[in-house]
Amino acid sequence: GTLRIRPGEKIPVDGNVIEGESYLDESMVTGEPMSQLKTVGDHLVGATINGNGSLLMKAVRVGDDTLLSHIVTMVAQAQRSRAPIQKLVDKVAGYFVPTVIGIAIITFLAWFFIGPEPSLAHAIINAVAVLIIACPCALGLATPMSIMVGTGRGAAHGVLIKNAEALEILEKVDTVVVDKTGTLTEGKPKLVSIESVDGFDKIELLTMSASLEKSSEHPLAGALLEAASEQGLELTSPKQFTSHTGQGISGEVNGKQVLLGNGALLSARGIDVSTIEARADTLREQGNTVILVSIDQQVAGMVSIADPIKNTSKQAIDSLHKKGIRVVMLTGDNQVNAQAVADVLGIDEVHAGVEPEQKNTLIKQLQDDGHIVAMAGDGINDAPALAQADIGIAMGTGTDVAVESAGITLVKGDLRGIVQAIQLSHATMKNIRQNLFFAFIYNSLGVPVAAGILYPFFGLLLSPMLAAAAMSLSSVSVIANALRLRALKL
């Protein structure tokens, strides 16, 4: 069928453009922060967002055949294929209960046949004492108390943990895989620098550029307009506005002829850009989109737009490295932008231009190599990888599908939350082991005493009342130890 896509609408199904052109926001699928120009013959992906243009498209894949449906299916498969962890307590409980019952029966028989008179009374009292002191209340409380306090502590710091399994796995993680757009970076293009040549003022350059962009439908126009608004600049509406497809825009602002675009646009109008081209190339190598500006046939400078790195990303990556954790970047963005971000942050390994299916495959490869992998992402394109990873970490600022696929959600969208989650995991698992030790040490010491092992030497027997008190004390010690997690500094 043929469908009309109006400005701002979501693309309903996968298909091809048969009429019109527009910029589309495909970041939810590709991870590319800059909107992509789509013209006749180009492929459209369902659920991506149309910009300001109007398109006529032909539906090619609908329903379960669309890319989005494939991604959802991959998420479900990855979630089903992951086997649940066999809890340590479950293993021990399988042996503990029959062992205690066996000890109680042996105690009863020993006291009944070889114990002093009244043998039946001694046999019943000591057997009951064994059963009471061995009551696995502390064993049952050891894990859930620590998990409850630990997850509560995490929630107070914006680290939401879906289940105990996530905490257990996170302690063993040795590789963290991160998406770039929206995870390491802000996920939205912003003006990062203005450079003017002699004779031109930076404020004038921004004012002229933003005024001309008022009439533009290009996605980068928003970055310039936002920067001008933040600085409180007064903009005017341009005259004789013209859009030069693939090159830039031109028009008259405050009586001056202004050109914004690439070197080809300015050179075609006889403007010499050789003085700034080298600097522009340097900025492009750093992952910036560079727009050259000329005013009245003279090169005036350039503006650089990029998806800026979050202020907290560097600190988070450094903290992960200190813990001996390797950091790998998987992104749908291009190699230049990805490498520029990786160089700044010190990321160990970079995979750029990666499709959602490839992210899934790369996670599997890391797991096959023996790594315990945590994946951090925020988009629909990250969802299959989040589900495939040993532990998925979603940015709370991301999509619902990503959050649903993850075991841990960072509410603030701050990558330092991964470091906090790992610290919390280590502290909680250590606390659980301490609790299990308390529970078992009480039983290891209490059961023989309750069975009467001290009677031949000291004439001491443990009454069921004292056994009950000792059992309660073990539960209290476990609870008190778990509550220490409330003081954990993250």
Q: In the CATH hierarchy, which fold is given to the domain comprising 190-306?
A: Calcium-transporting ATPase, cytoplasmic domain N (3.40.1110)
313-322 and 335-345 helices, crossing angle to 10°: 60
Number of other residues whose CB lies within 10 A of the CB of residue 463? 14
Identify the pLDDT of residue 424. Answer: 92
Is CATH 2.70.150.10 correct for 2-62? yes
**What are 261-285's pLDDT values in tens digits?**
888 888 888 888 888 888 888 888 8
Is the confidence at residue 116, as pLDDT, over 50?
A: yes
**What are 59-69's pLDDT values in tens digits?**
998 888 876 77
The residue annotated as part of the active site, out of 14, 25, 179, 378, is: 179
Rounded-to-integer distance, Cα 173 and Cα 326, Å: 9
Nearest CA among 323, 322, 420, 343 for reference residue 376? 420
Is the confidence at residue 399, as pLDDT, over 70?
A: no
Q: Which amino acid is at 99?
A: T
Identify the pLDDT of residue 363. Answer: 92
Is the confidence at residue 372, as pLDDT, over 60?
A: yes
Element (H, E) at 447: helix 416-451
Rounded-to-integer distance, Cα 277 and Cα 248, Å: 16
pLDDT band at 402 (very low <50, low <70, confident <90, very high): low
pLDDT band at 329 (very low <50, low <70, confident <90, very high): very high
Is the confidence at residue 293, as pLDDT, over 80?
A: yes
Is CATH 3.40.50.1000 correct for 158-186+310-416? yes
**Which residues, in sequence order, are CB contacts of 399 under 8 Å at separation 6+?**
28, 378, 379, 380, 383
DSSP 400-426: HHHHHH-SEEETT--THHHHHHHHHHH
Rounded-to-integer distance, Cα 375 and Cα 27, Å: 18
Whether 179 is a known active-site residue: answer yes
**Which residues, in sequence order, are CB contacts of 137 under 8 Å at separation 6+?**
471, 472, 474, 475
3-state DSSP assignment of residue 101: helix
**What are 61-106's pLDDT values in tens digits?**
888 887 677 656 644 554 443 334 335 667 777 787 888 889 889 9
CB 464 within 8 A of CB 128: yes
Domain ranges across the chain: 2-62, 78-146+423-487, 158-186+310-416, 190-306
Rounded-to-integer distance, Cα 150 and Cα 426, Å: 10
Rounded-to-integer distance, Cα 61 and Cα 70, Å: 11
Identify the pLDDT of residue 32. Answer: 62
| Residue appearing with tokens 């992951």 | 82
The per-residue pLDDT of the chain, averaged, comes to 84
Identify the pLDDT of residue 410. Answer: 81
pTM, to two decimals: 0.71
| Average pLDDT of span 13-21 | 92
What is the percentage of the chain residues whose pLDDT exceeds 70?
92
DSSP 126-193: HHHHHHHHT-THHHHHHHHHHHHHHHHHHHHTTEEE--HHHHHHHTT--EEEE-IIIIIB-SS-EEEE
